Structure 1
């Protein structure tokens, strides 16, 4: 079945439908990793986005659930040049096609992902639609794309309750704004006792445990939507921090400066 990727600047890519057949509007981004497509799919940082994989063949070693960074995939959509239908790997437990269908994630294959990536590089991140409706009308779709906002996605990906990974070393409080599982595991393997907190935990609750460090995790969405989180972060500024990608964005919002989105 044909599928179409329509960007807010009016560019249309035609390919083949993969995964779910549902129609979605999302922020279109790209990932240049040559391996680790399952880690990308299960990274909560991609919630609210449709991911274009620039490597030309995706799915050749299948799905190995042990390698997942969370319990489920998070992107709204998936964009590839070629999807391998017959993975070859003794660890493989499933195919990407089945994985996408299971979680109702639509995708498109067979498009020029290099051209799409170049376009996003030059014009910056754009919203787009993945649809199988060949009767689409650009004049109706473009306004919807331009009006789309990912909204507050952190609340979708954060953990529901506090968890503790016991260790004999420094005590680290990990704020889960969309943390990959490997972050807490890696700290714990190095001896740290890691306590993972939901994103909206009050600073007072964390500070009373007297942690040796506080790590603010990576996460999805626009940091300026996280106003309550930013206010709580102000209470940590006398402590030493361990920072990850999302955190640089969030912590900078406490400063009176103008910000622009990266291309």
Structure 2
């Protein structure tokens, strides 16, 4: 591989065998080098492949502006995260998380307080990602001498949820908000508090997560059976009315029409959890 661009002494860009731009990191890998020279492979510590040219350029710009210690910290956080999150984590996590931590540190320096309204729901619904966020906050505070609150654990978790699902951050936040709103409607409608520790509750919360992902992602199931629909709406009438309220909320808030198939599935799930 040849050097395409020297970002700093420790980070350069190059092209892989498919002529795609890559970011190459290693201590002193760019020191005393010039564009066109061969990369010393024994100095390569990490190679990053961004999804597109625009993303690669954003990554380069960010790396040229921030201290190396923050990027090394992000690399360690991602490495630790992979022990909990077994799904594929997109390389974009290095870009988004580096940007986030750098901004969070600046916010702390200016004494700007931050509260994440999704803290409780992320902690409850995305336990693995939240644990990654908790450990990341401990590491950040230790290495950077900051005092970031637990809300940052939820924000960092959101970046990992986003990198796992392949969404952009606004879409991931919308999914989390829809989960939150759906659970609130169910609890208010039935006058109950949903338990969290039972296998039934765990199954239901998992279902709600994927329901929200399908709705926001535009991937709702469309199968329809009029006979089953009539049986379900008559037998589970109260649960059906609750789901209709959820569907009305989604249409008003997100301008998305929930399919009849999703309505029926959610009705059955709510009936099970409220009557179980």
Q: Same fold (TM over 0.5)?
A: no
> TM (normalized to structure 1)?
0.24
Larger RCO, structure (CA 8 Å, separation 6 or more): 1
User: Which structure has greater strand proportion?
Assistant: 1
Q: Report the TM-score when normalising by structure 2.
A: 0.23
Larger radius of gyration: 2
